[in-house]
């Protein structure tokens, strides 16, 4: 959060929004995250007042995420709600992939690069 505080202008605005989105999404699917990764600490609520968003405890973060998406569509002209749901789908699907969470041998020994292709 300190790094976000050092930013200015639209970079700071977008970083705050990404942080809130991550915290809201985490609350929205906390049970599925715990099933895939084990219990995880919640990201602390931050920047809600700055962005005029509701508390992350309301509807497990859904209300904040929905309002955030509405604001982003108005400000930046894209379907933020759809973007966040797609990102969530990708994250949850990745966790079900065989070998997920293990470092590929060629990455571990330093002979290759990491990424979806490297983990094939």
Give the predicted TM-score (pTM) of the model: 0.78
Tens digit of each residue's pLDDT (9 = 90 or more) over 1-33 = 899 999 999 999 999 999 999 999 999 999 988
Instruction: Tokens for 3, please give them.
Output: 């790094």
| Gap between the Cα atoms of 81 and 72, Å rounded | 9
pLDDT tens-digit map of 34-71: 888 889 999 999 999 999 999 999 999 999 999 999 99
**Average pLDDT rounded to a whole number, residues 84-105:** 77
The token pair at 50 is: 């700055």
pLDDT band at 80 (very low <50, low <70, confident <90, very high): very high
């Amino acid at each position: 959060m300190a790094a976000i505080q050092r930013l200015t202008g639209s970079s700071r605005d977008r970083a705050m929004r990404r942080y809130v989105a991550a915290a809201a999404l985490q609350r929205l699917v906390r049970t599925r995250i715990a099933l895939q990764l084990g219990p995880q600490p919640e990201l602390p609520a931050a920047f809600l007042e700055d962005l005029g968003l509701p508390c992350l405890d309301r509807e497990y973060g859904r209300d904040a995420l929905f309002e955030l998406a509405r604001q982003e569509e108005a400000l930046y002209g894209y379907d933020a709600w759809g973007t966040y749901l797609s990102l969530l789908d990708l994250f949850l699907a990745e966790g079900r992939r065989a070998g997920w969470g293990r470092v590929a041998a060629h990455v571990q020994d330093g002979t290759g690069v990491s990424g979806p292709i490297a983990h094939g």
